[in-house]
A and B are shown apart, each in its own frame.
Chain A
Amino acid sequence: MDSVAQRLSAVGAGAALELRGVTRLFGALAALTDVTITVRPGERRAVLGSNGAGKTTLFNCITGDFPPSSGTIRFFGEDITQFPPYERIRRGLRRTYQISALFPGLTVQDNVYLACRGVSRGRFSFLRPGQNDALMHATETLVQAVHLTTVKDQRVAELAHGQQRQLEIALALAGAPRFILFDEPAAGLSPTERRELIEILTSLPAHIGYIIIEHDMDVALRVVESVTMMHNGRIFKEGLPREIESDPEVQELYLGGGHE
C-alpha cells in the first residue's frame, strides 16, 4: 500500500482530522454550517457550545453515523467523506456516545471483546476463541484499565450508570485507536468517577489525539490543549484553553446562556 511518506505528502500538513466546509442539513434546519477544522495527530481538543450548537452532529458527521450534506472529511490524509462508519472505525477512528450505546444483553467482557473483534480480522469467525486468544488478552487488559474486572461476567443491563460510562470508554479504546471522539464522557458521573475519567484521559498514549465534548469546564479544560467554541452550528472561536476561558464573548455566550 501507500508508504507513510506518500500518505503524509497527500495530507499536506499531516493532519489527523481535516474538515472542509462541512454542512449538515436536517430538512430545512442546518445543524452544521460550513465547519472547517484541522486537528494535528496527537492533539487534544475540546468542543464547547450550548445545547443545539451542533457538537454531537459534528461527531456524527465525522464517524459517518449521519453523513454530511456537503463538505469533505479527511482522516490522516484519506478522504473518508463517503465511507460507511465501519470503514472509518477500521482506519483508527473511535467514538463514545453521549447516552451510553452498549449491548445490554451481553456481559461486560463480551462487550469489550466485540469492540476488539470489530477492528481486527475474523469478525465472521465461527470458531470460539481459545484459551490463548490474543483478543481475549486484549479484552482482559481493557476491562482492567477501566476498573471493571470485578463485574466482567455481569450483563451490561445490570451495571450502575458510572460503570456503563466507563465501559463506553473501554469500547472506544479497543484495538489501535489513532483518534477518538468523546461525547460528554463525564455526564452523570460522581466527583470520584470524574477524577478517574481525567486520569484515563491524561494517561492515554501521546500519539492518540481526541476531541472531547464536555459541559464541565473543570474536566474539559484540564485534559485538552486547544478549544473550539461552537454556536448555532458554526465555529465561533478557536484558541488555547486559557484564552477561551477568559474571552468575554465566550463567557457571555456559553457560561451565561449554556444551560437554559
Chain B
Amino acid sequence: MSLLQSTQLRPDASASAARRAFIRAWPEFQNPVAWLVALILVIMPLIANGFFLIEIFGTTLILGIIALSLMFLAGYGGMVSLMQLTIAGFAGYMVAVFGVSANTNISLGWPWWLATPMALALATLFGTLGGALAVRTEGIYTIMITLAIGAAFYYFTNQNWAIFNGHTGINTVATPQFWGVDWRSDIAFYYVILGVAAICYFAVQYVSRAPFGLALQGVRDNARRMAALGFNTNAHRIAAYAFASFVAALGGVLQVWNYRQISPGSVSVGACIDILIIAIVGGITRPIGPFIGALIFVLLRTFALDFLVKVGLDGNRFRLLIGLGFLAIVFWSSDGVIGLWERWRRRDASAGARPGGGRHG
C-alpha cells in the first residue's frame, strides 16, 4: 500500500501513467491525420457549397452511420446482418408516420421531438426482434435470415397502403424547426449529421473496449468458450443487435430528414446490399472503415456517371465501377481500404524506423 501511494505521489509518474491509459483508451487522439480530418469536417461549410455539403458529405456520413452499425455487428460480433438498412428505413418510415407529412391521412402529426424518439425506439425494437431470430443461426444462415427480413419489409411497404402508402411512399416529411433555426437548411443540417456521426463513431469505438464490446469479440472468436466462462452468448448477441439497431435507426432518421420523403425504393434489397458493400470496401475491422467506404460509394455514385459518359460509355453503368472496385478490394485486401492503409503505414514505419529509430505510431 505504501509503495502504491509513493508512486502516486510523484506527479510525473501518475501523469504519464494517466496519459498512457488515455492513449490506450482513445488511440485516435494520438493520430495527427485524425485531427486533420476532424478539422476539415468541422470547417467544411466554409469550403464546400450546398451540393457538396449535403449531397456528398452529408450523405456519406448518413450511409456511414448505417454501415457503422453493420461494422459493429460483423467486425466485433462476427454477425453479417443485411437488414441494417431495413432498420434505418423502418425508423425513417416511423418518423414519417408519427410526424408531419403531406400524406395527412397517414401521418399522425406528432411534433418531431415526440415522433423521433418513438421512431428510434420502434426501430430498435424491430432490429432487436430480427436479431433474436438471427442469433439462432450462424454464418451464411444469418445472412439469409436478415436478407429475408429486408426483402419481406421491402415487399410489405410496397403492398401496404394503410401505413406505408404503398409504392408511392410518404412525401414532404416535415423536418425540425426550433430556436428560430431551420435544421434542414444546408449548414445546420450538415452539423446535425456530423454531430450524430461523431457520437455514433465514438460510441462504437468506446464500447469496443468496454466489457460489453470485449465480450462480443470473445463471442466472435469462440462462443463455446465464452459460455464456459460464464457468458450467456445469445443474450450478448441480441444486445449487440439492439445497440446496432439504435445506431442504424439514427442514420435512418437523418436519411428521411435529408430526402424529406421515404418510399419502398429507399429500403430495397439493392440498397441493403449497398450497405454491405460500403462496409466491406471501407473495412470492418475499425469504425472508421464504413465512413471511408461510404465516401468512396457516394463519390462513385455521383461522379461515375459523368466520368463514364466522358469516356464514351453508358452513364448508368456506375454500378459496374463499384462492382469492379468491390472485387478488387476483396481480392487484394480482405479488410478493406483501411487494411490497405494500415499495411502501407506499417511498411512505411518499418522502413523509417531503422534509420530514424524514434518513430512510433
Interface residues of A (CB under 8 A from B): 63-65, 84-86, 89-90, 94-95, 97, 101-106, 110-111, 113-115, 117-119, 122-129, 131, 171, 174-175
Q: How far is the CB of A152 from chain B (nearest CB, A)?
A: 12
Q: How far is the CA of A129 from the CA of B207 in the complex (A)?
A: 11
B210 at the interface (CB under 8 A from A): yes
Q: How far is the CA of A171 from the CA of B226 in the complex (A)?
A: 10
Q: Find chain A residues with CB under 8 A from B211 CB.
A: 113, 117, 122-125, 127, 129
Q: How far is the CB of B307 from chain A (nearest CB, A)?
A: 39
Q: How far is the CA of A125 from the CA of B280 in the complex (A)?
A: 28
B230 at the interface (CB under 8 A from A): yes
Q: How far is the CA of A84 from the CA of B224 in the complex (A)?
A: 11
Contact B222 A125 (CB under 8 A): no
Q: How far is the CA of A113 from the CA of B221 in the complex (A)?
A: 15
Which residues of B in the span 215-264 have a Cβ within 8 Å of any Cβ on A? 215, 217-218, 220-222, 224-233, 236, 239
Q: Find chain A residues with CB under 8 A from B226 CB.
A: 114, 118
Q: Find chain B residues with CB under 8 A from A126 CB.
A: 206-207, 210, 212
Contact B230 A103 (CB under 8 A): no
- Report B200-214 CB contacts with A as 1/0, cut-off 8 Å: 000000110111101
Contact A127 B214 (CB under 8 A): no
Given the interface pairs A89-B229, A118-B229, A124-B212, the reply to whether A105 lies near B217 with Cβ below 8 Å is: yes
Contact B222 A103 (CB under 8 A): yes
Q: Which residue of B lies closest to A96 (CB)?
A: B228
Given the interface pairs A102-B222, A103-B218, the reply to whether A85 lies near B228 with Cβ below 8 Å is: yes
Q: How far is the CA of A161 from the CA of B211 in the complex (A)?
A: 27
Contact A106 B206 (CB under 8 A): no
Q: How far is the CA of A59 from the CA of B217 in the complex (A)?
A: 25
Q: Which residue of A lies closest to B17 (CB)?
A: A131
B21 at the interface (CB under 8 A from A): yes
Could you show 16 A-B contacts with beta carbons less than 8 Å apart? A84-B227, A102-B221, A104-B221, A105-B220, A105-B221, A113-B211, A114-B229, A117-B211, A118-B230, A122-B211, A123-B232, A128-B25, A128-B206, A129-B211, A131-B21, A175-B230
Contact A124 B225 (CB under 8 A): no
Q: Find chain A residues with CB under 8 A from B227 CB.
A: 64-65, 84-86, 89
Q: A129-B210, A129-B211 are in contact. List 4 more A-B contacts (CB 8 A).
A: A65-B227, A89-B229, A117-B214, A117-B215
Contact B212 A125 (CB under 8 A): yes
Q: Which residue of A lies closest to B208 (CB)?
A: A128
